[in-house]
Amino acid sequence: MWWKDFLRNPLAVTGLAIVGTLAVVAVLAPWISPHDPYAIDTRAILLPPSPAYPLGTDSLGRDCLSRLINGARISLLVGFVAVGLATAIGTVLGAVAGFYGRWIDGVIMRFVDMMLCFPTIFLIMAVIAFLEPSIWNIMAVIGLTGWMGVARLVRAELLSLKEREFVMAARIAGASDARIIFSHILPNAVAPILVSATLGVGGAILTESALSFLGIGVQVPTPSWGNMLTEGKDNLEVAWWLSVFPGLAILITVLGYNLLGEGLREALDPRSRRSRG
């Protein structure tokens, strides 16, 4: 079974542990935060890490640990929603292109090629410049500009699967095209889609952090790892902890999702299992 191969991979298990821990922290953030992440205390401005404030305080006296914990909720929300939107769009367009082929495939894939010509981060920045910077706009823009890789992946899977015997049997039984695609073919392409989505969450979190760092993402006072890094940059000479801890959070989170995605790919790909065996 694939999950046995997954559990035998120490890096994959490490990624799963990181992702699981972050998910628990994000869900329990209101209850495990030692302080109010929005509370300003002028008596505790730029305090270094201490027993009272394990990760120190910022320039307004807010507890960095509490803001880091609550920032995990924002980052994971952006990651899951944006990747969910991108996966849905890419799956539908890739399935239609791969199943019908001919001119439909040509039109969709040329549109994919056109979208891939634009550097994603600059395309996102250009769109955000015309919109109000908010968490919902960030999620929508990242999702609407990140579906192309999924579309190409799903198209390749459909081109292979649509010639299988079970698809021909469904055609003979009178199943509609939509039923064949969504009930017979796509369930057999879940593995690569799942791997792509897992790897995409880390990328979406990194993109959100970059946008927030540049000031066009999640806006203060809402805690986000990206805007925490911005404040750290402004106080780098006197408060190193403002940059180090959010940076480590981003690094560990993206690393965790990459390890999890690679572990899933090796466990779910029969060719990888055979090569290891």
pLDDT of residue 271: 57
pLDDT of residue 254: 92
pLDDT of residue 132: 74
Does any domain span residue 57?
no
pLDDT of residue 137: 83
pLDDT of residue 244: 92
pLDDT of residue 246: 92
pLDDT of residue 227: 86
Q: How many CA atoms lie within 13 A of 117 on its CB side?
A: 6
Q: Looking at the 3D structure of the chain, how many domains does it have?
A: 1
108: tokens are: 């969709």
Length of the chain: 277
**3 state DSSP class of 57:** strand
pLDDT of residue 258: 92
Backbone dihedral angles phi then psi of residue 201, each to the nearest 5 degrees: -60, -45
pLDDT of residue 88: 94
Does any domain span residue 45?
no
Does any domain span residue 235?
yes
Tell me the pLDDT tens digit for each residue of 119-157. Answer: 777 777 777 777 777 788 888 888 888 899 899 999 988
Instruction: Output the pTM of the full model.
Output: 0.86
**3 state DSSP class of 219:** coil
Residue type for position 223? P
Does any domain span residue 164?
yes
Does any domain span residue 37?
no
Tell me the pLDDT tens digit for each residue of 85-97. Answer: 999 999 999 999 9
* Cβ atoms within 10 Å, residue 35: 19
pLDDT along the chain (277 residues), means of 10: 79 92 92 90 89 90 92 88 93 90 88 84 77 81 88 89 82 82 84 88 88 81 87 84 92 92 80 51
Cβ–Cβ < 8 Å for 147, 86? yes
Does any domain span residue 33?
no
**3 state DSSP class of 220:** coil
Does any domain span residue 49?
no
Does any domain span residue 48?
no
pLDDT of residue 237: 82
Residue identified by tokens 């960030």 is 138
Domain region containing 220: 2-26+64-276
CATH number, residue 159: 1.10.3720.10
pLDDT of residue 22: 92
pLDDT of residue 165: 82
